[in-house]
């Protein structure tokens, strides 16, 4: 699973990245997490407000910081 955190480095973006890493680690999810900070790269996803969570190139959450449970639910959809 490929996870991308879209954000320019604001506190909310950092919170989403930390929470996502924690959820992946705690649930032994096989995933690669990348932080995307370049505004031109972020715009390729049609995301106007960050932070955003992208899983396997699909934007799942944008413009807010979700709960850890919500992140776990989203990632669960991609596990076999």
Mapping DSSP onto H, E and C, the string for 52-74 reads: EEEECCEEEEECCCCCHHHHHHH
Residue 76's pLDDT is 95
Helix spans in the chain (H) = 11-26, 39-43, 68-76
Tell me which residue of 33, 31, 37 sits closest to 13, measured CA to CA. 37
Residue 19's pLDDT is 98
Q: Which domains does the chain have, with CATH numbers?
A: 2-67 (3.40.30.10)
16-74 pLDDT, tens digit per residue, is 999 999 999 999 999 999 999 999 999 999 998 999 999 999 999 999 999 999 999 99
Would you please indicate which residues are annotated as catalytic (active-site) residues?
A: 10, 13
Residue 75's pLDDT is 97
| For range 10-14, the mean pLDDT | 95
Residue 79's pLDDT is 86
Specify whether the CB–CB gap between 20 and 3 falls below 8 A. Answer: yes
């Amino acid at each position: 699973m490929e996870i991308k955190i879209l954000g320019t480095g604001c506190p909310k973006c950092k919170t989403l990245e930390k929470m996502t890493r924690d959820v992946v680690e705690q649930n032994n999810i096989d995933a690669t997490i990348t932080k995307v900070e370049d505004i031109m790269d972020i715009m390729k996803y049609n995301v106007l407000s960050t932070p955003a969570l992208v899983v396997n190139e699909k934007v799942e959450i944008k413009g807010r910081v979700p709960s850890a449970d919500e992140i776990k639910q989203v990632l669960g959809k991609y596990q076999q």
